[in-house]
Structures are given as C-alpha cells and as structure tokens.
Chains A and B, each alone.
Chain A
Amino acid sequence: MRETFVIAKREFLERVRTKWFVAMTILGPVLMVALILIPALLAGRGGTGAKVDIIDQTGKVAPLLSVNLQKLGDWKITVVDPATTDEAELAKVRHKQLNGFIRVPADGLAKGSTIYRGDNATNQVVQGLLHEAVPIAIIAARGVPLDKLDTPSVRAFHTTGETAGESGAGTFLLGYIIAFILYMVITLYGINVMRSVVTEKASRVVELMVAATKPRSMMSGKILGVGGVGLAQVAVWFLFGGIALAYRTAILKALGAGADAASALPSLDALQVVTIVAFFILGYLFYSTLYAAIGATVSSEQDSQQAQMPVTMFLVIGMVSMTAITGDPRGSTSAIMTLVPFWSPMLMPLRYILGGASPAEVALSLGILVVSILVIARAAAKIYRVGILMYGKRPGFAELVRWLRY
C-alpha cells in the first residue's frame, strides 16, 4: 500500500510539473470554448451578404423573394433573364462573381420545387434563410394574400416527464460536452498510463522497480497517480466551467450572443454531478487498466500504436454512438449500450442527463462497471507482471492466455 502511494506520488508530481500539463490545464477550457464557439461563429459567416442571382421562369416569385432575402440576410440579389442557363451561372460561381443562384422553374408555382446551387449551400444560415423565404414567396405568388402568410411556429422542449422541461438544445449541448470531456480525458490519461509503462520498459528502469516493489503496486500506483493528474485537471476545468456558467450572460454578451443563448444552458443537479464523477473515475480505471496491460505486452512506442487499436476502437464506437443515445435516450439501443462497460462511462452520463435512464439503471450500470474493473484488473495484473520483463516480439493471443495462468 505504502509503495503504491510512493509510486502514485511520483507519477503525479512528474506529470504535474511539466509545462505540457500547465498549458493543457489552462488552455484546455479555452480550446474547448473555441471548439464550440468557432464553428458557431463561422456558421454565421457567409450566410449574410451573399451575392445571389434569381432565375425566375414563372416571372411571379422573384419580386417578393428578392425583397425578403435582402431584408432577412442582407443578400445582394440580382434578378437575371429567365433564359439564363445553369452553365452561365455556374461559370460566375466558379469565377467568384457569385455565391450562388436560385432557379424557380416554369412549373415552380404548381409543383413548388425550386433549386439553389451555390458555394455556401451547406451553410446552416443559408439553408435556414432559403427555407424561410422561398416557400413564402411561392405561396404568395399563388395568390394568397400577404396578411395570411404569417407561418405558425413550433418550439421543441426536451422532457421525459421527470423534469419541468428545459430547452432541448441546451440539454443536448451540455450532455454532449460532458460525454466529450469524459471521452477525451479517459482516452488521454488511459493512453498516458500505457505510454508510461512502455517508457519504463524501454528505459529498462523496470527491473529496478520490480526488485523494489511488486508489479501489482507498480500498476496500481501508476494508474492512481496518472488518474490523480486527470482528476486534478478536470477539477480545474470544471472550476473554470463553473465560473463561466456563473457569469455566462456577461461572457456570451461580450462574444456577441444574445441573452437567449445564456438561458438555454441548463444546470446540473447534485445527483447528476455525482453520477458524472463516478463514471469518470470508474471509466478511467476500466480503460487505464486495459491500457496498462497493453503497455506491458509491447517493447516500443511503435508497437503500442498497433496494440492499442482494439481498445481505442471501442472508445470510438462509444463516441460515434452518442447520437444514438441523444436521438432516443429511452430506446433499447441506449439501454443496452449504457450497460456495456466499454461504453457506459461516456454514454450513461449523457443518457442520464437527457433523462433517459432511471437511477436504478444508473446503479446497475455502475455495478456492472465495478465488477468488470475487478475482473479486468486481475487479468491485467497478471499480464502486466509477466509482460513488463519480456522484450522483443509481441505476444500472440494464445500466449497472453498462457500468461493469465502463470
């Protein structure tokens, strides 16, 4: 126990002292905010002030459409000859004289289908403007009086009946951010444990260590020490996050976003925070134990890149499945994936925040995770004990099984 602590202390101090750690801890939140804000800010760009031609073969849609697009998006609209070909317009786009063009075909009024082609067609703001302005212009051209054109609106609120109903977008965003941080930190520090093991083997210090202490103490000390660094880093980040949330209105205003955006971010209750922390710690233990065992089976950094692939794949699958959870938090896919220990650390907090999981399900998931960690730690300790003194060829699966029986 004492040796585990001494080793954990070394692993912790050696990392915390590096410039890399200090930089990541301070820059981490900045980067994360940038990661979220920059796409949002970029999304707005190109949406306004676009140069767009309208080819109106009906002769009835263009007047209102051009007025509306100028008004809504400050677009520079030119209504061109209806006989203009797509090729001529595309050439203008190619030569950057134009962002894009709208074609209302001759049967556009009857069938209601218009086409937009442009270099900004994937831009969300552009799409939003088109979806808003084009139908109104067509419906008006069909002869509906303008004062009947106020489109009814719908606002979506996320709830599963347990909470009063927060803004759906805000809950999704928060859930995503937390799941992403969990994924990132678990990956980052899990791999850190593996690299630390590989470094010990490569620098041959491992024999000195094994003589002084048990391999089990080495492994647990390493996992605890590196995990402590991760925990410290996340704690700093959440402190930043807490401050940011407390002053979010002021911050968002300074960045140019409205007060609406501020109120859209929901808060977490104590149980949710405890759940997130529990899954973070257990998820880290689960993956770092796996990574430690992998580190013990290889002799060099290059080998470790390959050896870690299967485990990293599981992490990535979990990451990719986040949309499956947010899309249907109470569905069977969500229910199953959040019980599997490879994915539950990232996905269960997300599902729980979205209100898709009952406390009993969370408890079951935690229980499965704890049991898995105990089983894996036993196996990993054996692989570690044999592996750290082995150099050369990476063991095959059969050999690993043999190590388990030593």
Chain B
Amino acid sequence: MSTALSVHAVVKKFGNHVAVDGISFEVPRGVVYGILGPNGAGKSTTLRMINDIIAPDAGEISILDGLKPGSDAARQIGYLPEERGLYPKMRVIDMITFMGELRGLSSGEAKKRAGQWLDRLGLSQWAKNKVADLSKGMQQKVQFATALIHEPALVILDEPWSGLDPINAEVLAEVVEEIRSSGRTVLFSTHGMEQAEKVCDGVCIIARGKKVLDGKLKDIKRASAADGLVALGWVDDAAKAKAEPVLADRALVAEQRPPRPGDVADAEVKLADGVDSQQLLAALLGAGVGVRRFEVVTPTLHQIFVERVGAAAAVAERRDA
C-alpha cells in the first residue's frame, strides 16, 4: 500500500530542550490517523515539521510517496494550525479564496469552491463580512474551509476539536469521514482520547518527544487485550469467597485491581505471564465458583494511553532523577 506520510527518526531541538526525539511512524493512504499525547509531547512540533514550517535537526520526512516537505508537497496538504489565525480585515469569501489560490487553485476555481464551502458550513450570508465580524465558532469553520478548499490528498489538523461546540464537532467528524471515504488521508493531533477512538484507524502515541507506541487502533487494542485483563462477576457472596484462593494463586494471576470506574465487575485481574484466560476460567469452575461474568477486557484508548504514557513518564522521571 502506498503511504501518505512517512516520518523516520525525526529529531527537533530548541536550545537544550529536545522537543521531538527520534520519532518514526507511517501513515497509509486513505486512513484517519491520530497523533496522541499529553501537552508538550511534541505533537505540534512534529506537524510543523511535516508542513515545512520548521526544519528537523535530523531524520527524514516523506510525504505522499517521496515528496520532501516544501512547496510541491504544500499544494497537496491542507493544514489547520493549532494557533488559529485568519486575516481579520479580509472578507470571509476572499480569505478562503486566497488560501485556495496560494495552494495552487486558479483564481476562478478558488472563488467557486469558496462559495460552495460557505454554503456547506452555513456561512453564505456572511461571505462578504470581514473575518473579524464572525464569532469564534464561525471563524473556526472558515479555518476548516481554508484547509480543505484545494481538496488536499493529506489533511493535517492540529487539535481540531479544541474550542468546538458539540454541533460543530459533529460537522467536523462528518467532514473527516467524508475525506476518508474519498480515499484521502487525515492526520490529526489531539489529547482527547474519546474523539480519537471514534474516528481513528491508526494512532501514534507520543510522550516527552518520544514515541510510546503506534499502529492500527484495532491491533493496539487487541494487543492490549492480550495483556490479559479479565473482568469477573460472581453469582453470590459464597462464590466470591470460593474464588479468593484461586485469584490469590500467583501462578495464574499477576495482580488484582479495583474495577474500572463505571464498570460493575466484582473483580478485575491481570493474568500472570503466559497464562491463557481459559486456564483461569477452568480453575475457577474447577473450584466450584459460581461465575456470572467472565470478560476479557478490551481497554479503551484512554486506558491504554494513561497506562502507557504514565509508564513512559515514570521512566523518564527516573531517568531525569
């Protein structure tokens, strides 16, 4: 499969601070890909390097099968920067048209498409107003139009959901879905895991400038499930008492955990290394435990994120100390 974006061992330092520390990931064409990480992880810096706003100190970036960041690539990229900004005194329609022209459209075509986008975003009656006259939410929509007017093969959105109300968030999700179904690629950054889990095909989680993990969302979740987290429910208190010694067996169970918030499981356990979930089930039934619920838990992206990023942060702190 051809790739929309390949980032290889990219490094960016600002003075003594290493903002991006050897990050690599690959985004296939036609997917929605999320770069996830806490604040200050290096997400925006990475996106800026892809957009040729700043140059990496080391590493390679290849866009749409071989283009280097720069003018040629820029025509096929649509970008929504984290720092939202438009020309405040420009008329709305002129602003969108201008960005279309700058990204390679002819003046007439840019104007036509700008009109279509304003229709679609419900801003037609504002076309001739100045950008500064618009509310913040409306300006955000204009921003999307400036990023998408030239139908870029790669759409890069930096924190697209920040500051959006639920209705506009829905509009954005639709637009993202539409880009994917037309075979184009969306790359976005966020620290909002719920949104990411809903729309992403693939993710790359970074923390403190380093990659924590990356891959298809499905694979990551399956792999995390294989880590052996099992939620259990007992038929009654007697069953609970009978289960205790089985769960205390360190050959089977590595640790017991409190149930996750919102889950009604009676117990949650992490299996010991190399133990299959079926062995635990057999052991429980063999001990005569009345099992009401036995569920191999697929963690949410949020859980994976907290667990992995938390671990990474802990490692980093130890290293710093």
Contacts and interface: CB of A to CB of B under 8 A. Distances in A.
A205 B86 contact: yes
For the residues of B in contact with A, the DSSP-based class is: loop
Nearest to B83: A204
Contacts of B245: none
A188 B17 CA distance: 42
Contact of B53 (A7, A10, A14, A211): A211
Interface string B57-88: 00000000000001100100101011111111
Nearest to A204: B85
A211 B74 contact: yes
Interface stretch (B94-102, B263-271, B277-285, B297-305): B94-102
B102 A6 contact: yes
A270 interface: no
Contacts of A208: 79, 81, 85-86, 99, 146
For the residues of A in contact with B, the DSSP-based class is: helix
Interface in A210-253: 210-214
B254 to A, nearest CB: 47
A204 B53 CA distance: 14
Size bracket of the A interface: 20 to 34
Contacts of A14: 87, 89-90
A85 interface: no
Interface string B91-124: 0001000110111000000000000000000000
Contacts of B71: 3, 213-214
Contacts of B52: 210-211
A265 interface: no
A299 to B, nearest CB: 13
A209 to B, nearest CB: 8
Contacts of B77: 211
Contacts of B81: 204, 207-208, 211
Nearest to B70: A214
Interface of B: 48, 51-54, 70-71, 74, 77, 79, 81-90, 94, 98-99, 101-103, 146
Given A203-B88, A205-B87, A210-B53, 20 more contacts: A10-B98, A14-B87, A14-B89, A14-B90, A203-B85, A204-B81, A204-B83, A207-B48, A207-B83, A208-B81, A208-B85, A211-B51, A211-B52, A211-B74, A211-B77, A211-B79, A211-B81, A212-B74, A213-B71, A389-B53
